[in-house]
Amino acid sequence: MNGSGSGVTLAIADGIARIMLDRPAVGNAIDLPLARMAKPLVTLVNGPAAGAGFSLAILGDVVLSARSAHYTAAYGAIGLTADGGLSWLLPRLVGLRRAQEIILTNRRIKSEEAEAIGLVTRLVDDEALEAEGLALAARLADAPTAAYGAARTLLHDSFDTGFETQLDRELRSMAVAGAGEAQEGLAALLAKRPPNFRGA
């Protein structure tokens, strides 16, 4: 091969490397706000979830999977490593050993297995997925979203804190909730009526 061919190959490799650096940055701009928002996140998976789609699918606090859906890390097949938070999310959901196997072997995880190993919350018949997802989202929207958001943060933070620290964080979170939406919740309980957290 002559020198000009090597130069073209290096230029292509350099261009690919730049694209690979830019693309995850765009994905991170989507994933981080979803992970940090102060409301529960529901994700519905209605087909193949591969690569960044896999990461996004399992980012949900509640993940409803169509029975026809399946999950694949995909990156290793083309010589890439995981992005979109997959290397953080997956071990926390299914354990390190299983996460290693899923990412390194690149095998397809069918929906039944995904539910069995805790990758998704539950399976839903394909034709019912949208309706169940909307019903769940409506229930969560009517719930005490600030308290749920705080609970979401507590759950995420629990992996990085000791038990005493977590107890303290729970106490502080409870005090904030008690001065907020809990006032409506307690008033509704005493009045024996449904709470109206949207108006709280």
What pLDDT is recorded for position 138? 92
Question: Do the domain assignments include residue 124?
Answer: yes
Identify the CATH number of the domain in which residue 112 sits. Answer: 3.90.226.10
Residue ranges in the chain whose pLDDT is less than 50: 1-2
Judging by DSSP bridges, how do beta strands 122-124 and 62-66 pair with one another? parallel
90 and 155, same domain (yes or no): no
Question: Do the domain assignments include residue 94?
Answer: yes
129 and 159, same domain (yes or no): no
123 and 95, same domain (yes or no): yes
Indicate the DSSP class of residue 127: G
Of 105, 122, 139, the one marking the end of a domain is: 139
User: Could you count the other beta carbons within 10 Å of the beta carbon of residue 83?
Assistant: 18
124 and 151, same domain (yes or no): no
> The tokens 């960044």 sit on which residue?
52
Question: Do the domain assignments include residue 196?
Answer: no
Question: Do the domain assignments include residue 48?
Answer: yes
> For residue 165, what are the domain limits?
144-191
124 and 86, same domain (yes or no): yes
Q: What is the pTM of this model?
A: 0.78
26 and 123, same domain (yes or no): yes
Question: Do the domain assignments include residue 75?
Answer: yes
54, 159 Cβ separation under 8 angstroms: no
Number of domains in the chain: 2
102 Cβ neighbours under 8 A, 6+ residues apart = 73, 90, 94, 109
What pLDDT is recorded for position 30? 74
89 and 177, same domain (yes or no): no
15 and 98, same domain (yes or no): yes
85 and 153, same domain (yes or no): no
User: Could you count the other beta carbons within 10 Å of the beta carbon of residue 162?
Assistant: 9
* Phi (first) and psi of residue 48, to 5 degrees: -70, 130
41 and 107, same domain (yes or no): yes
What pLDDT is recorded for position 16? 53
Q: Which two tokens stand for residue 95?
A: 């354990």
84 and 165, same domain (yes or no): no
